[in-house]
Homo-oligomer: A and B are copies of this chain.
């Protein structure tokens, strides 16, 4: 049905090898033959069969992305990924992966065994699982981790500086006169959770303020987590004058809880998030947050993986990008 390399060769009056050379931009072809082949290709509307190429090259030209389902941030992230991959002739295979889940492990193992992917990119908390590192070491397929839990393992990663981000956000709140600042911790299987908390603590200590355990709540990086934690923390007496919700999604939950309780933001309470998702500026009066260059991070991780796949040595296999405080209307000077 569809034209093959043989049809092109026949029409161009040359061998299939020559056609192959033209397709792959190899040297040692006369300009004239090249032109003849090219016009044959156009005439037959030929494109190389990707499956055949994959079989003979023993590569799938597919990058596997492991992520936990859901979350708003991920759709931008994914479309960025697609664009990057396209330029380098890689496809993406998105796989949801729950650490510790047996089904997830089996799916992943099949993915690798069937050689459906040439390499893997993980997003938190998928790398929590020792399983992945083990599988990777055993099968030898390249892996790049985004915001990995463990930076000490000698595997490539691209990460963000959560500590500094949380530190400067907290310092901003302190600068506004806040002394009772609540903090919502993220899930324990994210390194980001720990780092953001450390940044919060560091800022408090640098300003000679105590870390009040009753203002630190275990939470999640999502709406429900923020909502629940906010309802708890609001009961404290005296109540906090500011909430650092740990993430933007949690901040949205906290905002909801505050509005439900009839508290005004920022007059009665300041609220801040982390991630600077699109929603941060879409909620009135704007959510103070910490901007993370996710697009850059994702692109860097992808390019790093592609380099590894092509056998290039990556000069900087472990990178940490800075984060940036973004002040909006949700945080204000404490009323005296």
- Using a CB–CB cutoff of 8 Å, the interface residues on chain A facing chain B are 2, 45-52, 54-55, 60, 69-72, 74-76, 78-79, 82-83, 86, 91-96, 107, 110, 113-116, 223, 252-253, 255-256, 259-260, 278-279, 282-285
Contacts and interface: CB of A to CB of B under 8 A. Distances in A.
A223 B115 CA distance: 42
A96 B114 contact: no
A51 B55 contact: yes
Closest 4 pairs between A and B when the two form their complex, measured CB to CB: A47-B113, A259-B284, A75-B75, A51-B54
Nearest to A83: B96
Contacts of A72: 72, 75
A296 B55 CA distance: 36
A278 B54 CA distance: 40
Given A78-B94, A79-B69, A113 B256 contact: no
Contacts of A285: 259-260
Given A50-B115, A54-B55, A259-B285, 14 more contacts: A47-B114, A49-B115, A50-B114, A51-B51, A51-B55, A51-B60, A72-B75, A74-B75, A75-B78, A83-B96, A86-B107, A94-B94, A223-B278, A256-B284
Nearest to A68: B79
B82 A76 contact: no
A128 to B, nearest CB: 19
Contact of A116 (B91, B94, B223, B278): B91
Nearest to A284: B259
Given A51-B54, A93-B91, A115 B252 contact: no
Contacts of A47: 110, 113-114
A46 B45 CA distance: 38
A76 B46 CA distance: 37
A258 to B, nearest CB: 8
21 contacts: A2-B115, A45-B113, A46-B113, A47-B110, A47-B114, A48-B114, A50-B115, A51-B51, A51-B60, A69-B79, A79-B96, A86-B107, A91-B93, A92-B93, A92-B94, A94-B94, A252-B282, A255-B284, A256-B283, A256-B284, A260-B284
A94 B256 CA distance: 34
Contacts of A75: 70-72, 74-75, 78
Most buried by B among A51, A113, A260: A51
A55 to B, nearest CB: 4
A82 B97 CA distance: 11
Nearest to A54: B51
A79 B70 contact: yes
A223 B282 contact: yes
A47 B79 CA distance: 31
A312 to B, nearest CB: 21
A219 B116 CA distance: 43
Given A45-B113, A49-B114, A75-B71, A282 B260 contact: no
Nearest to A69: B79
Nearest to A91: B93
A214 to B, nearest CB: 26
